[in-house]
């Protein structure tokens, strides 16, 4: 039992350091059936029996992607029964509902999986959901973020714990290598399913795992260890800086009527690292979507604040927000709301691309064969939506919103007001009039880009051809 004992020790140590659990906690354990998650359930069970009273719930998601999915679900059910742990199963037909949220298959699977795990935790009154991500996953995550261009928060990789909807997502294995987990299962004779998660892996991560990391290992055989250390150091330093930025915010930023102001002299006295953090924090508080606030934007605000001349300027931050300098005061606020724009455009196949010049966007439509659709990479975000080509009534109409607009959303009986969806999603009122609505030939709203997809013409197993709609920013030369 030596191997089991060592891993239990290592997990207990990490749990104490990062306060992952307390005695008598209820923990939902996400178990796919692969070696990592089987090891997680076995180790947590061992801890609950011999080291600390914990109540475990085993949760498994069957995504319906593959023929073996049903066997895997059965395998995990038996494992939970053997350990005397309650078992919860969710079955999603991801291929046929892949389009509800405008994400590709892997993205939809991930979103549904987390939704189910958190909902299960709520039902059992569990404090946390335990996930089996390990040291190799962490090294890949850090490398992917490094390649994408990331600040220290990103280089910290996946967190030991973070809170989502009042449930903590915990990762007790972040310092343990995959080989140790597979080794445990083999030494102890723990059965596991061949790792299905590899098939759900994003294309990009597979490239990092099979091409980029092995190449780097030729130059430094311990590169995974280095990436792991980087994530530990970056994580701790990021938390320290975050706390300092929050303190500066308390002391230096004045808030009234949704406007944030800052005195130039007190800002200039901060080290540049804190200046950037403080700007980022203000933008976070100001906007529901801070992902658009990239380094160049933050730098423009910072340099503009420090420069001697000019002493008055206005910088458009995008997303309906501006930063203004008025002599020695820097002010962040939302733009005065623009008058309601109004437009209507038809979109049909002979002319599958249309300029929405009122809002500076382009809407494009293309037909994909079924195979091409499933080969689509997931990372296209929420600015695309797929529809069943035979089910969607053409021509489409793209128009500005009208009072009383409603949309039929998947998973809801009946319709929901578009306005209520905007409120639920915390979309600022200044931006709402800039979001177009896509209606089918019968007048139903079928898609609100970046927000929701309706239940009409969903792509399913029977779909022969797929219509891909996507919205993007207008090129400069298209604006004229």
Does 470 count as an annotated binding residue? no
E strand spans, 320-457: 321-326, 329-334, 344-347, 353-356, 361-369, 384-388, 396-399, 406-407, 416-417, 437-439, 445-448, 452-453
DSSP strands (E only) in 206-274: 253-256, 259-263
Q: And the tokens for 392?
A: 């969607």
Q: Report phi then psi at 195, rounded to 5.
A: -65, 105
From CA 289, how far away is CA 250, in angstroms rounded? 22
Measuring CA to CA, which residue among 451, 418, 462 is closest to residue 102? 451
Residues 284 and 317: beta-carbon distance below 8 Å: no
d(CA 377, CA 107): 10
197 is in an annotated binding site: no
Residue 157 assigned as binding residue? no
Alpha helices, H only, 253-325? 264-268, 272-286, 295-306
Give how far Cα 408 sits from Cα of 112, 213, 386, 444, 457, Å: 19, 45, 16, 8, 12
Mind giving me the DSSP string for 35-88?
A: HHHHHHHHHHHHHHHHTS--EEEEEEEE-S-STTHHHHHHHHHHHHHHHT--EE
CA 270, CA 251: separation in Å to the nearest integer?
Answer: 12
Tell me if 32 is assigned to a ligand binding site: yes
H or E element at residue 237: helix 223-252
CA pair distance 124, 27, nearest whole angstrom:
9
d(CA 164, CA 111) in angstroms, rounded, equals 13
Q: Is 37 annotated as a binding residue?
A: yes
Taking the C-alpha atoms of residue 219 and residue 115, their distance in angstroms, rounded to an integer, is 41
Nearest to 122 by CA among 78, 172, 59: 59
Beta bridge partners of 170: 130, 161
The answer to whether the annotation marks 400 as part of a ligand binding site is no
Q: N- to C-terminal Cα distance for the chain?
A: 73
Cβ-Cβ contacts under 8 Å for 398 (sequence gap 6 or more): 343, 344, 345, 347, 354, 356, 363, 436, 437, 438, 439
d(CA 259, CA 257): 5
Residue ranges of the binding site: 32-37
Residue ranges of the binding site for ATP: 32-37
């Amino acid at each position: 039992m030596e191997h089991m004992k060592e891993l239990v020790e290592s997990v207990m140590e990490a749990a104490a350091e990062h306060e992952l659990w307390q005695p008598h906690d209820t923990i939902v354990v996400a178990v796919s059936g692969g070696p990592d998650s089987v090891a997680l359930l076995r180790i947590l069970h061992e801890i609950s029996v011999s080291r600390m009273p914990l109540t475990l719930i085993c949760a498994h998601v069957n995504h319906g992607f593959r023929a073996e999915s049903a066997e895997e679900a059965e395998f995990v059910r038996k494992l939970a029964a053997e350990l005397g742990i309650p078992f919860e199963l969710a079955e999603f037909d991801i291929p046929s509902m892949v389009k509800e949220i405008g994400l590709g298959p892997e993205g939809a699977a991930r979103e549904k999986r987390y939704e189910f795990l958190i909902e299960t935790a709520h039902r059992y009154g569990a404090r946390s959901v335990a996930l089996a991500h390990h040291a190799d996953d962490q090294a890949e995550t850090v490398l992917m973020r490094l390649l994408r261009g990331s600040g220290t928060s990103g280089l910290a990789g996946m967190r030991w714990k973070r809170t989502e909807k009042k449930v903590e997502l915990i990762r007790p294995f972040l310092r343990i290598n995959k080989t140790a987990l597979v080794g445990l299962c083999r030494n102890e004779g723990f059965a596991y399913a061949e790792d299905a998660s590899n098939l759900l892996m994003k294309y990009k991560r597979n490239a990092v795992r099979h091409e980029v990391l092995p190449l780097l290992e030729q130059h430094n055989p311990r590169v995974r260890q280095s990436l792991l250390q980087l994530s530990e150091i970056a994580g701790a330093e990021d938390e320290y800086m975050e706390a300092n930025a929050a303190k500066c915010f308390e002391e230096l930023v004045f808030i009234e009527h949704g406007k944030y102001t800052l005195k130039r002299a007190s800002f200039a006295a901060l080290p540049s690292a804190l200046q950037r953090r403080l700007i980022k924090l203000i933008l976070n508080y100001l906007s529901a979507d801070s992902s658009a606030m990239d380094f160049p934007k933050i730098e423009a605000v910072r340099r503009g604040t420090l420069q001697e001349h000019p002493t008055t300027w206005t910088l458009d931050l995008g997303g309906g927000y501006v930063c203004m300098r008025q002599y020695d005061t820097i002010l962040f606020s939302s733009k005065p709301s623009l008058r309601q724009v109004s437009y209507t455009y038809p979109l049909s196949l002979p002319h599958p691309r249309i300029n929405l010049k009122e809002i500076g966007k382009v809407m494009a439509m293309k037909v994909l064969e079924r195979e091409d659709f499933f080969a689509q990479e997931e990372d296209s975000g929420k600015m695309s939506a797929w529809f069943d080509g035979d089910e969607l009534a053409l021509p489409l109409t793209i128009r500005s919103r009208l009072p009383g607009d409603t949309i039929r959303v998947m998973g809801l009986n009946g319709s929901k007001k578009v306005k209520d969806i905007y409120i639920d999603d915390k979309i600022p009122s200044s931006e709402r009039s800039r979001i177009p609505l896509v209606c089918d030939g019968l007048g139903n709203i079928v898609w609100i880009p970046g927000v929701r997809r309706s239940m009409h013409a969903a792509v399913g197993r029977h779909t022969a051809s797929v219509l891909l709609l996507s919205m993007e920013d207008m090129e400069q030369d298209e604006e004229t």
